[in-house]
Structure 1
Amino acid sequence: MSCTKYYKKEAKDMARLNIVLYEPEIPANTGNIGRTCVATGTRLHLIEPLGFRLGEKELKRAGMDYWKDLDVTTYVNYEEFLEKNPGAKIYMATTKGPRTYTDAVYEEDCYIMFGKESAGIPEEILLENQETAIRIPMIGNIRSLNLGNSVAIVLYEALRQHNFDHMQLEGHLTKYEWR
C-alpha cells in the first residue's frame, strides 16, 4: 500500500513546515488544522486509521472552502510515513514532553507530529524520539488542549522562528487607511 497525495501545491524558495496528525479522530479538528495549514503554506500529513472519512461534511465545513487548496498526504500507518519521509526531523508534540515547544529550534522542512485526541502519540514512538519531544505548558491536571489549538500554537512558533517567511505581515482596512 502507498500513501495518497490529495493535492500538491508547489511553493518554491520558501521555508515549508509539515504538520503530522497521528490517527486523528475528530473531523472538525482536522478540518480546522487543514485550514491553518493552507493559511500558512504548511503541508499536512495524516497517518491512518482516521476516525472519519475525508469526504465528511464536518471536515469540509471546518476547513471551509480551503480544503481543495490543502497539500495533504495520507499514510496507511506510521511505518509508511517514516518510509516515505526518510531522514525527516520530527518533533513530537505531547503532554508528556520533557521540554517546552519554545525550546525547540525548528528547521526548514521539519515535521511536527501530534497524536490522536483520545490517546496522543504512543509512548513507544515518544521513547524513540525523546530528544525531540516537546510540550505546551499547562497548569493543573488538564489532560490537554484542543488539537487544533495545539497545532496553531506550535506551528506559529516555528513560523515565527523563520520570520514568517513568505507570509503577509500586515493587514489592510477595507474602507479606511491606517494612519
Structure 2
Amino acid sequence: MSLNIVLYQPQIPANTGNIARTCAGTGTSLHLIHPLGFSTDDRMLKRAGLDYWPYVDIHYHDSLEAFIEMTEAQANAQVYLIETYGTRNYTEFDYSNSRQAIYFLFGRETTGLPQEFAQARADHCLRIPQTSHIRSLNLSNAAAIVVYEALRQQGFAGLS
C-alpha cells in the first residue's frame, strides 16, 4: 500500500516545498503534473523543503492524462480528488486497505482541477469542511490534513 500526493500544475513553489517536507516525514510519494509554475530548482521550493529533498520519492507526469493512464494501469489504485466543491467529506472514505495505492489529487492553487475532469469523477471528489469566509485552505495544509487522516486509519504504520 502506498500513499501519494498529486499536484496538478502547482504554481507556488513554497507550497510544493512544504508538501515535499510532509511527504519526506510520512513516507508519502509526491507526484507533480506539468506544466509547473516554477522550476524545481527554485530557491523558494528548496528553502521550504530544506534538506529533506533526498528523502522525497518524487514523480513527474507530462499531463493529467498521463497520470490517469499510469493509475489505471495499476490493479489496486484509487484516486481521490480534493476540491472545495466535493460533496463528500474526506473522512467518509476508508483508506485502510493495505493492498491499495491511494492518490490524493489536488488542483492548481488558483483554479483547482479542470471542472469536466472532476465532474466525471464526482463519486471520488472529496472536500475538507471549512467556513464560507475563505475560498479554500492553503494547499500544503490541505495535503497534510488528508494524508494524516489516511495514516491515522492505517494506525500510523511505519511512523514513530
TM-score normalised by length of structure 2: 0.93
C-alpha contact 1:92 1:114 (8 A) present in aligned 2: yes
> Equivalent residue of 1:46, what SS?
strand
Aligned-CA RMSD value? 1.0
Identify the match of residue 91 of structure 2 among 78, 84, 102: 102
> Equivalent residue of 2:15, what SS?
helix
Equivalent position amino acid for 2:46 in 1: K
Q: Is it true that 1:157 corresponds to 2:143 in the alignment?
A: no
The match for 1:44 is 30
C-alpha contact 1:92 1:112 (8 A) present in aligned 2: yes
Mapped partners of 1:77, 1:151: distance in 2: 20
Mapped partners of 1:141, 1:92: distance in 2: 22
Q: Is it true that 1:56 corresponds to 2:45 in the alignment?
A: no
> Equivalent residue of 1:167, what SS?
coil
The match for 1:10 is none
Mapped partners of 1:85, 1:101: distance in 2: 20
Q: How many equivalent pairs are there?
A: 154
Equivalent position amino acid for 1:46 in 2: L
Please list every run of at least 4 consecutive aligned residues from structure 1 whose deviation after the TM superposition is greater than 3 angstroms: none
Mapped partners of 2:25, 2:59: distance in 1: 17
Query: Deviations for 1:119-174, whole angstroms, at most 9, x for unmatched residues?
Result: 11111111121111100001124100000000001110011010001100xxxxxx
Equivalent position amino acid for 1:66 in 2: Y
Q: Is it true that 1:35 corresponds to 2:21 in the alignment?
A: yes
Mapped partners of 2:116, 2:157: distance in 1: 34
Equivalent position amino acid for 2:19 in 1: I
Runs of 5+ unmatched residues, structure 2: none
Runs of 5+ unmatched residues, structure 1: 1-14, 169-179
More helix, by proportion: 2
TM-score normalised by length of structure 1: 0.83
Equivalent position amino acid for 1:26 in 2: I
What fraction of aligned residue pairs are identical, expressed as a percent? 49
> Equivalent residue of 1:17, what SS?
strand
Pairwise CA distance, 1:104 = 1.3
